[in-house]
């Protein structure tokens, strides 16, 4: 095998001499195909000239020896084909034998010896030595340590749980000076509650994860933000915001010295975009509408994949006092935020959504008014695969060209000067030729120029956004 893989100079190697050159020889199939391409004939012409079937010639060039007949016939095919192509037949046969031997060595099945019996013939039994006991103890310690590290990694990867159980709704209304907020988190977690007027409360969760905290309420709207921090990992949960409204007292008639302000303004919310059931392909969603309120809050909840069955959507309605808007803490939470209405009450904001089915909730707030909510369901579809277009033109001289589009052969033969071919693929092309200086490529209207120098042979990978690069193996 060494004499086929190394090429030496005319002088013999001595102690003070060094090798002139050493390079791995190409496979037999590639040598045959390159010789045929230099000869300027295709497989059909070679079949007629050598009287060897086309499928055997193709198998010899592709190195697919399983498709060839018995070795005695294969040797004859190789000898005749090598002579036809102007190659040294003995050298080709020697290299073919080496490749066959390598294949047989690679596919040889290793036989695992049978396990030795614990009790050997003659009554000898397995004896436990102190070294075996030490090795077992060390193994148990290592397993316990790895298990402990794994448990800690899983714990650090978990998101700290945080759920509010009282009040049960995100928006609620009570007529009281205080309320007890209750929820669930991790054992020993630190729960921080931030309320209006710089109110701040800290509470530690019990061993079962439950916690309670009484907070003061003021007349009007009271917003509370709740964050739980794990006692071990120190990781904070996602913030939960709840709104509790306390109605203002009605003024007694005849006690006011100022003129009456007229009837109160009714809180309204009109959503013009997006419409319920909207399907988007780019994920850019504009939330717009009008309101008589002073603040708009937008939230979104992921419902599933774009092709999943949508859940029944309720018609938009104004929530009744005590049970307004959406309930619970949806997860995962998508894009959202506050929007400030303009002078005429119009509002608009653009959000970017990932592919999936989303429920968008828009809530309007106003002083002394119960919030009004609207909900719509939208679908964001994932973009489809991008098709690449390759234009191949033969210039200067005719050339043999083979083209694979996403691994599928779409061109294999001699092309004359001036010939232009169009190919499509979603991932990449592989172009093989014996004369790269005659192959001109244009990919998606981008002129890549000639594939290589005149007379240069080989295989190149062509894909969008990159210049052609040499392939690791022939196409």
- Residues in CB range of 293: below 8 A, 6 or more apart: 267, 268, 269, 341, 345, 364, 365, 366, 369, 372
Cβ atoms of residues 418 and 426 within 8 Å: no
User: Which domain covers residue 35, as residue numbers?
Assistant: 28-106
Shared domain for 282 and 366, answered yes or no, is yes
Distance CA 432, CA 392 (A): 12
Does any domain span residue 341?
A: yes
Residues 82 and 182 in one domain: no
User: In this structure, is the dihedral angle defined by the CA atoms of residues 348, 350, 356 and 361, taken in order, positive or negative?
Assistant: negative
| Same domain (yes/no): 342, 406 | no
String of DSSP letters for 408-468: EEEEEEEE-TT-EEEEEESS-EEEEES-GGGEEEEETTEEEEESSSTT--EEEEE-TTS--
Cα atoms found within 13 Å of the Cα of residue 315, Cβ hemisphere only: 0
**Domain closes at, from 42, 77, 106:** 106
Q: Check whether residue 408 and residue 448 sit in a common domain.
A: yes
Query: What confidence score (pLDDT) does residue 11 get?
Result: 41
Q: Within this chain, do residues 214 and 283 fall inside the same structural domain, yes or no?
A: no
Please name the residues in contact with 49: beta carbons below 8 A apart, sequence gap of 6 or more: 41, 84
**What is the pLDDT at residue 313?**
43
Is 240 found in the same domain as 289?
no
* Residue 110: predicted pLDDT: 54
CA distance 389 to 442: 8
Per-residue model confidence (pLDDT) at position 311:
45
Confidence (pLDDT) at 68: 85
In a domain? residue 9 = no
Look at residues 80, 106, 132 and tell me which one is the last residue of a structural domain: 106
User: What pLDDT was estimated at residue 250?
Assistant: 55
Q: What is the pLDDT of residue 162?
A: 86
Last residue of a domain, one of 212, 246, 280: 246
Residue 60 is part of a domain; what is its CATH number? 1.10.260.40
- 400 in Cβ contact with 42 (< 8 Å): yes
Residues 199 and 230 reside in one and the same domain: yes
433 belongs to a structural domain: yes
> In CATH, what number is assigned to the domain containing residue 366?
2.60.40.10
Q: Block means of pLDDT (10 residues each) for the chain, length 475 residues?
A: 42 47 73 89 89 87 83 86 88 87 70 58 69 91 91 74 88 88 91 84 92 86 90 85 80 45 72 92 92 91 77 42 42 83 87 92 89 93 82 92 93 93 93 92 91 90 88 87
Residue 295 falls within a domain, yes or no?
yes
| pLDDT at position 328 | 42
Number of domains into which the chain is organized: 4
Residues 354 and 400 in one domain: no
Asked if residue 463 and residue 394 are part of one domain, the reply reads yes
Which CATH number do you get for residue 441?
2.60.40
Residue 414 has a pLDDT of: 92
Q: Is residue 193 part of a domain?
A: yes
> Pairing mode, if any, of strands 279-280 and 372-380?
parallel
The model carries a pTM of 0.31
């Amino acid at each position: 095998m060494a004499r086929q893989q190394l090429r030496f100079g005319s002088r013999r190697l001595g102690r003070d001499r060094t090798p002139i050159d050493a390079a791995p020889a190409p496979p037999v199939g590639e040598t045959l195909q390159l010789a045929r391409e230099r000869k300027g004939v295709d497989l059909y012409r070679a079949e007629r000239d050598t009287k060897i079937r086309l499928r055997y010639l193709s198998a010899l060039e592709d190195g697919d020896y399983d498709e060839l007949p018995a070795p005695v016939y294969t040797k004859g095919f190789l000898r005749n084909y090598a002579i036809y192509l102007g190659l040294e037949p003995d050298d080709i046969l020697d290299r073919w034998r080496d490749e066959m031997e390598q294949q047989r060595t690679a596919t040889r099945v290793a036989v695992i010896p049978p396990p030795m019996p614990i009790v050997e013939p003659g009554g000898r039994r397995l004896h436990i030595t102190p070294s075996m006991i030490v090795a077992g103890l060390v193994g148990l310690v290592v397993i316990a340590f790895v298990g402990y590290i794994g448990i800690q990694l899983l714990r650090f990867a978990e998101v700290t749980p945080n759920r509010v159980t009282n009040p049960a709704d995100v928006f609620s209304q009570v007529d009281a000076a205080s309320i007890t907020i209750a929820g669930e988190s991790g054992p020993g977690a630190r729960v921080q509650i931030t309320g209006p007027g710089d109110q701040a409360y800290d509470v530690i969760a019990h061993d079962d994860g439950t916690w309670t905290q009484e907070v003061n309420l003021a007349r009007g709207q009271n917003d509370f933000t709740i964050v739980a921090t794990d006692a071990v990992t120190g990781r904070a949960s996602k913030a939960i915001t709840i709104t509790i409204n306390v109605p203002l007292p009605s003024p007694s008639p005849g006690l006011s010295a100022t003129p009456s302000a007229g009837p109160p303004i009714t809180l309204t919310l009109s959503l013009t975009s997006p419409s319920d059931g909207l399907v988007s392909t780019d994920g850019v969603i504009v939330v717009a509408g009008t309101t008589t309120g002073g603040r708009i809050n937008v939230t979104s909840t992921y419902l599933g994949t774009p092709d999943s069955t949508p859940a029944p959507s309720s018609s938009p309605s104004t929530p009744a006092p005590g049970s307004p808007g959406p309930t619970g803490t949806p997860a995962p939470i998508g894009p959202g935020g506050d929007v400030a209405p303009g002078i005429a009450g119009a509002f608009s904001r653009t959000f970017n959504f990932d592919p999936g089915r989303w429920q968008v909730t828009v809530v309007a707030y106003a002083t002394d008014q119960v919030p009004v909510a609207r909900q719509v369901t939208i679908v964001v579809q994932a973009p489809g695969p991008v098709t690449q277009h390759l234009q191949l033109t033969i210039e200067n001289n005719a050339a043999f060209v083979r083209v694979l589009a996403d691994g599928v052969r779409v061109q294999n033969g001699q092309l004359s000067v001036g010939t232009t071919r169009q190919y499509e693929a979603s991932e990449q092309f592989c172009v093989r030729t014996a004369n790269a200086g005659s192959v001109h490529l244009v990919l998606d209207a981008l002129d890549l120029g000639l594939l290589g120098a005149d007379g240069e042979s080989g295989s190149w990978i062509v894909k969008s956004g990159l210049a052609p690069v040499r392939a690791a193996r022939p196409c």
